[in-house]
Amino acid sequence: MFLDYVKIFIKAGDGGNGAVSFHREKYVPNGGPDGGDGGNGGNIVFVADKNLNNLVDFKFKKHFRAENGVSGAGRNCTGKSGEDLVIKVPVGTVIKDTRTDAVVADLFEDGERFVALTGGRGGKGNARFTHAQRQAPGFSQLGEKTEERQVTLELKTIADVGLVGFPNVGKSTLLSVLTSAKPKIANYHFTTINPNLGVVQMFDDSFVIADIPGLIEGASEGAGLGHYFLRHIERVRLIVHVVDVSGSEGRDPYEDYLKIRAELAAHSEKLAETPEIIVASKTDLIPDTAAEEVAKLRKATGKEVYAVSSVTHTGLDELLKVMKRKVDELPPPARTEIDETAALEEKSDQKFTVTRLPDGTFFVDGGLVDFLIQNITISSRESFAFFQKILKDRGVIDELKKKGMKEGDVVSIGDLEFEWID
C-alpha cells in the first residue's frame, strides 16, 4: 500500500506540577518550604528517514502524544522531564498546519529534524514563592497544559528527472531499462499506481528518475488521481515527456502531448515552466515510418525529440547523455517555501501565563518573563517605564485585569514584586 497524504493529530507533553512540601527532619521541627519544580513535557519532533518511502504507517494511527513531565517532590526534587516523541517520516515530507494550510516544514534531507510542538513548562514548587513577607507558602504552580494540533503530512518525491505521459506510453519500461528499478509493467492502463524511483549510474556520478502513474485529461482536477501524483514531480529539474509515437493506443502523439502540457500548467505555473525534453517511444513498432513520425512531432512541438525503443534499446545511450547533461546544468531540486510567519504554536518568547495565587498575589510566568529578565535591567525610573511598556504591548496588563487585578494587588514577575497602582 502506498500513502502520500495524511492528516494526524499531535500533542506535546504537559508540564509536571510543582510540589508543596516543607522540610521535615529530626531536631528541625519547622523546616522551610522545599517543594520542587515539575518537569517539562516532551516535545513532538519529526525526523526525515531515507529508509521510508511513503506515509502508510500513519494510515491507522492518527494521534501522537509526547510524554508528560513528572510532578516535583519534597527536598527540592525536580520532576523528570517527559521524553520527546520522535516521529519518522520519508525524506521529502512537507508538514502543514491543517487549520491554515501554511507550510511549516519541509524535511528535505535524511536526518533533518523539526520540532513541531514544545512540551509544557513544569510548574514551580512552593520553594520558589518565598520572600521576606511570605516565608511558608502553602501553594505551588500547576504545570503548563498543551493543546492538540492537527497537521497535514504531504510526501513530495525528490528526484532529478520526472517521467510524464499518458498511461501505457512506455514510461515504466523506459525506467526499467535506464535504471535498476523494477516497476510493475503490463499492457493495460494504470499499471503504475505508485511513483517509482530509479537511479541512473554513470561512471562515478548518478541521478534519480521518478516515474509517476500515467496522466489523463483532467488529471489536475483529480481525474485518475492525477492531482495526487503530480506533486511527485514538483521538485524535479527536468521533465521527460514520453509519447507513444507509434499510436498503438489509437491516439495522436501530438494531441497527447498538448493534453498533458495543459494538465501540467493547470496544476502549477512552476511545473509548466520546468525544462522539458520529449521522448518518442515504441519506435520498434513502426520501423519503416518512425523517422518520419518523429520529424513531424519535432516540427509540431518545436521541442527536442529523442526517438527510443525500450525493447531494442535504440536511442537510449543518447537519451541518457542528454538527461545527464541537462541535470548537471540545471539547479538542484528546491525546498517548498516555508511560511515564516506560520507556526503550530506561539513562540516561547511570546508566551506567558497569569495565575492568581491563594494569597491574592498575581503570578506572571512563561517564556516572556524569562526574556524580560535576561534582557532588561531595572535600575532607574526610565528603565522601569520601559519594562511597563513591554508588559502593556505584550498583553500582560490586559490579562492581569481580566484575571481581576485591582489597585493595591501584588504582582509577581520573576524575582520582582510590585504593588499595582491604577
The model's confidence at residue 219, banded by pLDDT at 50, 70 and 90, is very low
Q: How far apart are CA 344 and CA 237, in angstroms?
A: 31
Answer yes or no: CATH 3.90.1010.10 is held by domain 348-422: no
- Cell for 383? 528603565
pLDDT score of 77: 95
Q: How far apart are CA 124 and CA 415, in angstroms?
A: 13
Residues, the chain, total? 422
Look up residue 62 and give its amino acid. K
pLDDT score of 183: 45
* Mean pLDDT computed over 277-286: 94
* Residues forming beta bridges with residue 209, ordered by sequence position: 161, 198
Higher pLDDT, 240 or 418: 240
pLDDT score of 12: 97
pLDDT score of 32: 84
pLDDT score of 93: 95
**Considering the chain, what percentage of its residues have pLDDT values greater than 90?**
45
pLDDT score of 114: 96
- Cell for 174? 523506459
Residue pointed to by grid coordinates 515504466: 172
Conformational region of residue 165, where left means phi above 0, alpha means psi within -120 to 50, and beta covers everything else? left
**Residue 342, Cα to own-chain centre: how many angstroms?**
12
Higher pLDDT, 131 or 265: 265
Q: How far apart are CA 197 and CA 220, in angstroms?
A: 22
How many C-beta atoms lie closer than 10 Å to residue 73's C-beta? 19
Task: Report the predicted TM-score, pTM, of the whole model to 2 decimal places.
Answer: 0.74
* Mean pLDDT computed over 120-139: 82
Q: How far apart are CA 399 and CA 405, in angstroms?
A: 9
The rounded mean pLDDT for the chain is 85
Lowest mean pLDDT segment, chosen from 63-77, 79-93, 295-309, 406-420 = 406-420
The model's confidence at residue 210, banded by pLDDT at 50, 70 and 90, is confident
Measured over the CA atoms of residue 329, residue 332, residue 333 and residue 339, the dihedral's sign is negative
The string of pLDDT tens digits covering residues 166-199 is 888 888 889 888 886 554 444 444 444 567 778 8
- Cell for 246? 507509434
pLDDT score of 142: 84
Contact call for residues 304 and 330 (beta carbons, < 8 A): no
pLDDT score of 83: 98
Q: How far apart are CA 243 and CA 285, in angstroms?
A: 13
3-state helix, strand, coil in the chain (%, to 5): 25, 25, 50
Look up residue 91 and give its amino acid. V
Q: How is the chain split into domains, by residue range?
A: 1-155, 161-329, 348-422
pLDDT score of 369: 79
Strand residues in 143-221 grouped as ranges (E): 149-155, 161-164, 196-202, 205-211
- DSSP result, 340-394: TT--SS--GGG--EEEE-TTS-EEEESHHHHHHHHH----SHHHHHHHHHHHHHT
Q: How far apart are CA 169 and CA 189, in angstroms?
A: 9
The answer, yes or no, to whether residue 9 has pLDDT greater than 50, is yes
Q: How far apart are CA 202 and CA 251, in angstroms?
A: 35
* Residues forming beta bridges with residue 73, ordered by sequence position: 77
Higher pLDDT, 285 or 184: 285
The answer, yes or no, to whether residue 296 has pLDDT greater than 70, is yes
Which of 260, 53, 49 has its CA nearest to residue 157? Answer: 53
* Mean pLDDT computed over 228-242: 85
The string of pLDDT tens digits covering residues 41-94 is 999 999 999 998 889 889 899 999 999 999 999 999 999 999 999 999 999 999
Look up residue 75 and give its amino acid. R
The string of pLDDT tens digits covering residues 313-331 is 999 999 999 999 999 999 9
- Cell for 312? 531494442
The model's confidence at residue 243, banded by pLDDT at 50, 70 and 90, is very high
The model's confidence at residue 342, banded by pLDDT at 50, 70 and 90, is confident
How many C-beta atoms lie closer than 10 Å to residue 115's C-beta? 14
pLDDT score of 179: 84
- Tell me the CATH architecture of domain 161-329: 3-Layer(aba) Sandwich (3.40)
Higher pLDDT, 284 or 132: 284
Give, as one character, the DSSP assignment of residue 54. S
Query: Rounded to the nearest 5°, which phi and psi values hold at 154?
Result: -130, 115
Q: How far apart are CA 66 and CA 46, in angstroms?
A: 12
Give, as one character, the DSSP assignment of residue 129. G
Lowest mean pLDDT segment, chosen from 20-29, 171-180, 330-339, 401-410 = 20-29
Residue pointed to by grid coordinates 483529480: 222
pLDDT score of 346: 66
Contact call for residues 211 and 175 (beta carbons, < 8 A): yes
pLDDT score of 228: 60
The secondary element (H helix, E strand) that includes residue 418 is strand 416-419
The answer, yes or no, to whether residue 377 has pLDDT greater than 50, is yes
pLDDT score of 223: 44
pLDDT score of 188: 42
The hierarchical CATH code for the domain 1-155 is 2.70.210.12
* Mean pLDDT computed over 369-379: 66
Rg (CA), the chain: 31
How many C-beta atoms lie closer than 10 Å to residue 54's C-beta? 20
The answer, yes or no, to whether residue 270 has pLDDT greater than 60, is yes
* Residues forming beta bridges with residue 395, ordered by sequence position: none
The string of pLDDT tens digits covering residues 134-174 is 778 887 888 889 999 999 999 988 889 999 988 888 888 89
